[in-house]
């Protein structure tokens, strides 16, 4: 080093093993691949449970074949499968054919009248949702707080859904709407319910006396204090 050169000061080195870095959680990541590929890879590692929610009343045959392969892979690893469909899916032959090929002891299916978005949760540790309106890309979520929230949302949907084994009157897809019932015909002379006619009173019945005492009885009971406008019957005979 030259004697006239100024000393070079080194700044503080950046430690890559900072304790703050170890506490950071992964944020949601958007995959550029088709959504089926990362979901298939994640399902292949499932060991506990794979809850899913599927929108619409039907699914393409190719997608159902992939779902069937995923279900068999997860079941071989000891996982259970739960599906939530919308009510019109009860009339889908392709969905029923798919469900018939999954062992019933590892599968639970319910339907709901609510409009649901696609959701796949793997072992309560990672979740997948669509990242675009056309569902061409998937959003991988691994943050524990976000995954926990999605699990709570799913459990609420599950509790409100109807088991597929139970009979439920659902509207088939593309079914014509039923006509509205005709309004009931009413009689204009008929009085509306809840209004009773005033009671009819006979001659000699009370007008100002007690609640159930005829006027003649009230006068005879107290002849010295006739009611205003009336005289005692004894004086009428004088």
Tell me, letter by letter, the H, E, C secondary structure of 59-80. Answer: CCHHHHHHHHHHHHHHHHCCCE
Rounded to whole angstroms, the Cα distance separating 33 from 128 reads: 13
Residue with tokens 């061409």: 136
Averaged pLDDT score across all residues of the chain: 74
- Any idea which residue has 């590692």 for tokens? 45
Query: Which stretch, 31-45, 127-141, 198-212, has highest mean pLDDT?
Result: 127-141
pLDDT in tens, 40-72: 778 878 999 999 999 888 888 888 888 888 899
Can you tell me the mean pLDDT for 131-145?
89
Three-class DSSP labels, 101-140:
CCCHHHEEEEEECCCCCCEEEECCCEEEEECCCCCCCEEE
For residue 193, pLDDT beyond 50: yes
Quote the pLDDT of residue 191: 59
Longest Cα pair distance anywhere in the chain, in angstroms? 155
- DSSP state for residue 87 in the 8-state scheme: G
CA distance 144 to 105: 29
Residue 187: pLDDT band (50, 70, 90) is low
Q: For residues 162 and 61, give the distance between their C-alpha atoms in angstroms, rounded to a whole number.
A: 24
> Do residues 164 and 82 touch, judged by C-beta distance below 8 A?
no
CA–CA dist 219, 100 (Å, integer):
91
Are 47 and 83 in contact by the 8 Å Cβ rule? The answer is: no
Q: 126, 42 in Cβ contact below 8 A?
A: yes
pTM of the model: 0.58
Task: Give the span between the Cα atoms of 229 and 226, in whole angstroms.
Answer: 8
Three-class DSSP category at 147:
helix
37 or 125: which carries more pLDDT confidence? 125
The stretch 206-233 carries a mean pLDDT of 52
pLDDT band (50, 70, 90) for residue 213 = low
Residue 181 confidence (pLDDT): 61
Over residues 129-134, mean pLDDT = 87
| Residue-level pLDDT at 115 | 87
CA angle 131, 136, 137 (to 5 degrees): 40
CB-CB neighbours of 237 under 10 Å: 6
Among 101, 109, 131, 108, residue whose Cα is nearest residue 118: 131
Judged against a pLDDT cut of 60, whether residue 74 lies above it is answered with: yes
Other CB atoms within 10 Å distance of the CB of residue 219:
17
**CB count in 10 Å sphere of residue 56:** 15
pLDDT > 70? residue 171? no
Torsion of CA 20, 22, 24, 28, to 10 degrees: 160
């Amino acid at each position: 080093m030259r004697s006239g050169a100024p000393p070079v000061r080194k700044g503080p080195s950046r430690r890559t093993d900072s304790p703050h870095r170890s506490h950071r959680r992964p944020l949601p990541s958007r995959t550029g691949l088709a959504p089926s590929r990362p979901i298939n890879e994640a399902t292949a590692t499932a060991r506990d449970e794979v809850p899913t929610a599927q929108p619409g009343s039907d699914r393409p045959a190719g997608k159902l074949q992939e779902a069937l392969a995923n279900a068999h892979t997860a079941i071989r690893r000891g996982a259970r499968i739960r599906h939530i469909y919308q009510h019109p899916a009860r009339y889908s032959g392709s969905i029923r054919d798919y469900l018939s090929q999954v062992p019933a002891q590892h599968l639970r299916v319910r339907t709901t009248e609510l409009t649901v978005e696609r959701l796949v949760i793997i072992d309560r540790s990672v979740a997948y949702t669509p990242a675009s309106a056309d569902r061409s890309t998937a959003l991988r979520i691994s943050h524990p707080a976000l995954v926990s929230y999605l699990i709570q949302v799913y459990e609420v949907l599950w509790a409100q859904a109807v088991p597929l084994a139970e009979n439920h009157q659902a509207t088939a897809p593309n079914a014509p709407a039923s006509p509205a019932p005709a309004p009931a015909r009413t009689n204009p002379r008929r009085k509306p319910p809840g209004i009773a006619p005033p009671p009819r009173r006979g001659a000699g019945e009370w007008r100002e006396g007690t609640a159930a005492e005829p006027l003649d009885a009230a006068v005879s009971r107290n002849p010295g204090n006739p009611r205003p406008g009336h005289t005692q019957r004894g004086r009428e005979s004088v």
